[in-house]
Amino acid sequence: MDQEPLGLGIGRGNCRSAARDLRRHGVALIAGCAQSQMTRSDPLPPRESVLLSLPRELSEPLFSRARPVFIKAGRILFSAGEGSNGCYLLQEGLLKVTVGLSPQNKRVIAVLVPGSVAGELSMIDGSPRSADVTAIKDSRLSFVSSSEFHAFADDHPELFRHLMLIIVRRLRDTNAVVAETTFLSLKGRVACTVLSMAEAFGRDVGTGRILIGHKITQGDVAAMAGIARENASRIMNEWVRTGVISRVSAYYCIENKPALLEASKS
């Protein structure tokens, strides 16, 4: 999917100029970042879509049956516990996936960018939705209903063999992520979260500095890292004081990536 260029015109290390351009033009998301490889210590599990991991001869005709859906920023696409009626391919916009016991106690487990699929697992096994999915930005999606999926599967029985292999691989990867993040320090979890946001939304602005082209708060970082906001704020503020990161017009800029990589292993 082609993306509108940022048009930043960034000079040597000019994060402030980049931030001004981001405010003018909005954030251009990288279509392929949903398939980017995360480190195994990343607190956000890889969001490789089960359906988009199918061979092209299966995935393309499946999504050719989709109908367009539009959702405004802040609106909920679906909630945990709801019955599944299909899945959604994100074409434009930004979604967040959250889980929790209450509205006051939720964790962001993934940020979905264009090219991601939401809701495919519950559509496949018929179980209720396992998480909330909410639009962070106005979003355009393609919807494939459960009935269309199962009709397609009846016509293409080889689909289930591919699904089994993909889901087993995803389960193994998720188990590895959970096992390793259990032993990370709070600082390590925050470092991994910031690095994963840079992987998805970052842009090199010169001299090794990376501007995260999406506005995130310390509360967002805390939710994604699965720690208390106070702890995330303390760690982020310490990094600002020591020059590991900076904050420019509501955007974070990584000033010292090697220091974050070292912290992510702690």
The model's pLDDT over 61-111, given as tens digits with 9 standing for 90+, comes to: 888 889 999 999 999 999 999 998 999 989 998 888 888 766 666 777 778
Q: Give mean pLDDT, residues 219-245.
A: 90
Q: Average pLDDT in the 215-227 region?
A: 82
Report the alpha-carbon distance of residue 120 to residue 144 in Å, rounded.
9
Cβ pair 254, 245 in contact under 8 A: yes
Model confidence at 17: pLDDT above 60: no
What is the rounded distance in angstroms from the CA atom of residue 19 to the CA atom of residue 171?
38
The pTM is what?
0.64
* Range scoring the smallest mean pLDDT among 13-17, 102-106, 259-263: 13-17
What's the pLDDT score for residue 161? Answer: 84
Whole-number pLDDT of residue 111:
81
Contact 217, 263 (CB under 8 A): no
Pair of tokens at residue 71 = 């959702």
Q: pLDDT (tens digit, 9 = 90+) per residue, 156-212?
A: 888 888 888 877 776 776 776 676 667 788 998 899 889 888 887 888 888 889 998
pLDDT, one tens digit per residue, over 21-45 is 433 333 322 222 223 333 333 333 3
Q: Which domains, from first to last, does the chain contain? A: 15-30+184-263 (1.10.10.10), 56-181 (2.60.120.10)
DSSP string, 10-62: --TT-HHHHHHHHHHH-PPPPGGGGGPPPPTT-SSPP---TTTTS-HHHHHHH
Q: Residue 257 has which token pair?
A: 């990536």
Segment 110-119 mean pLDDT: 84
Distance CA 122, CA 128 (A): 6
Mean pLDDT of the chain: 76
Does 6 or 166 have the greater pLDDT score? 166
The closest alpha carbon to 72, from 97, 98, 96, 93, belongs to 93
**pLDDT top residue among 55 and 37:** 55
CB 49 within 8 A of CB 116: yes
- In angstroms, the CA 95 to CA 23 distance is 20
**Residue 15: per-residue pLDDT:** 45
Give exposure, 179-215, as e/b (b: 16+ Cβ within 10 Å). ebbeebebbbbbbbbbbbbbbbbbbebeeebbbbbbb
86-102 vs 251-254, strand pairing mode: unpaired
